[in-house]
Amino acid sequence: QHFLDRIEKHDGSLNSFITVTADIALAQAAEADAQIAAGTAGPLTGIPMAHKDIFCTDGVKTSCGSKMLDNFISPYDATVVEKLKAAGMPMLGKTNMDEFAMGSSNETSFYGAVKNPWDTDRVPGGSSGGSAAAVAARLAPITTGSDTGGSIRQPASLTGITGIKPTYGRVSRFGMIAYASSLDQGGVFARDAADCALVLSAMSGFDEKDSTSSEEENVDFTSSLDKSLDGLRIGVPKEYFGEGLDEGVSTSIKAALEQYKALGAEIVEIELPNTGLAIPSYYVIAPAECSANLSRMDGVRYGHRCENPVDLEDMYKRSRSEGFGSEVKRRIMVGTYALSAGYYDAYYIKAQKVRRKIKEDFVKAFENVDVIMGPVAPTTAFKVGEKKDDPVSMYLSDIYTLAVNLAGLPAISVPVEPVAGLPVGLQIIGNYFDESRLLNVAHQFQ
Ligand code: GLN
């Protein structure tokens, strides 16, 4: 009830929720009370949370931030939803997001922009901007997110909270609406690493319903939070401190590195030479995959259908023209072009080769270091509207986050010293399936 009251009172100015499920939350809270009374409660029983509206929720609208799915009530729960429900976490609602998770500012949502609680003239980041703003404004202690190219880490950074993107395959993608399937990964937002560890432990695990789900053994990510960082080797890529990085952000990140030194860690300068190729390869691969994934939104099986179609083609055309916003259409066009005969080798295959190079950079770096640190984003939260009509400048703001998804690695954003009253996130990148260490390193800082 406390959180529902706060949503009622504050979300009018933030717009972080698309749907509030008060009845469901209160009924689940009552069940949690009963479990607590019976002594059968787990560590998360009764802790409220909210899901990014990309996760399918049985009987509850699942819009993915799009007019296309404005009328879609999912007939089943995503695996993540099922797992957190089973852990006893009441669902407060579904959070706002960029349309189909495409964006870095939460301005492409059909439901309007989300505002940053630190300054409502500024964006909260995207695409999981609603989930980040809700935790930052204390409208929910925990929210879920998805990260295809930074959508958990960047909004966490811009709103001063903690957000973790696990290794690709760690968290089931079943029921998480697909944007770019080889990059998409579900994760969690919370106030700190310890809370993230608790929830990630409940979310993770092999799922036979997701063919890319990892069979890696599930771990209790809370068990190593208190380990000492003595002797930890931190790689700092020089490419992450070049042109385009805001001076204040750079100073704040360097101060955080000094604190890690004081905790016993050793700083090692490393190279990730293909960093500059992450944006061009990502912005071919992600649109290519999205153009295939979004072909299912045809007005036939579900979603928006135009009025009075004259024939099938007219129905496809008008349903999709009306249902998708301009950023989604731009991605579909870029992706279709990159996949078309004659261009496939020149763009898509080339981008896949570059992706391999980017991954190899990280594999090599991890032969010598335990974690890699740098900024999450080149600036603090920018103004609403500032980059909205300039897609290229919006894409450039993803410079430090995309490579992690191309390589499939886990990474976390940890709030460090703010700049001019606005939050800054330190990015900690880990080796494959090394989330325990990431959470431990993040926890020791706080
Ligand atoms: N900003 C990136 C994009 O628009 C990443 C989004 C995401 O991680 N979902 O594709």
- Distance between CA atoms of residues 111 and 349, nearest Å: 36
Residue carrying structure tokens 């030194």 = 261
> For the chain, what percent of residues have pLDDT higher than 70?
100
Residue 446 pLDDT class (50, 70, 90 cuts)? low
Query: Distances from the Cα of 440 to the Cαs of 233, 260, 288, 316, 435, in angstroms?
Result: 14, 12, 36, 50, 8
* Averaged pLDDT of the chain: 97
**Whether the Cβ atoms of residue 252 and residue 246 lie closer than 8 Å to each other:** no
- Encode pLDDT of 315-327 as tens digits: 999 999 999 999 9
Instruction: Say which amino acid occupies 235.
Output: G
- Against a cut of 0.90, is the pTM above it? yes
**Whether the Cβ atoms of residue 74 and residue 95 lie closer than 8 Å to each other:** no
CA of 88 to the centre of ligand 1 (A): 30
CA atoms within 13 A on the CB side of 328: 26
Task: Report the complex ipTM.
Answer: 0.98
- Encode pLDDT of 268-300 as tens digits: 999 999 999 999 999 999 999 999 999 999 999
Average pLDDT over residues 133-154: 98
Pocket of ligand 1 contains residue 184 by CB under 6 Å: no
What's the burial of 439, exposed, middle or buried (CB within 10 Å: 0-12/13-18/19+)? Answer: buried
Residue 164 pLDDT class (50, 70, 90 cuts)? very high
Selected catalytic residue, list 16, 66, 109, 127 = 127
393 is catalytic: no
Any long-range contacts for 30-35 (C-beta under 8 Å, 24+ apart)? 31/88, 32/88, 32/90, 35/88
- Encode pLDDT of 58-89 as tens digits: 999 999 999 999 999 999 999 999 999 999 99
- Distance between CA atoms of residues 134 and 440, nearest Å: 25
- Encode pLDDT of 418-440 as tens digits: 999 999 999 999 999 999 999 99
Q: Which atom of ligand 1 is nearest to the CA of 394?
A: 1
CA of 289 to the centre of ligand 1 (A): 13
Q: DSSP labels for 5-49? A: HHHHHHHHHH--EEEE-HHHHHHHHHHHHHHHHHT---TTTT--E
151 is catalytic: yes
Residue carrying structure tokens 């009374």 = 37
With residue 314 as reference, give the H or E element that holds it.
Answer: helix 312-323
- Distance between CA atoms of residues 114 and 103, nearest Å: 12
CA of 138 to the centre of ligand 1 (A): 24
3-state secondary structure of 313: helix
Lookup: tokens for 119 = 């300054």
Q: Does 188 have pLDDT greater than 70?
A: yes
**Domains of the chain and CATH, by start:** 1-274+354-446 (3.90.1300.10), 280-346 (no CATH)
436 is catalytic: no
Question: What's the confidence (pLDDT) of residue 8?
Answer: 98
Question: What's the confidence (pLDDT) of residue 302?
Answer: 87
Selected catalytic residue, list 74, 109, 151, 201 = 151
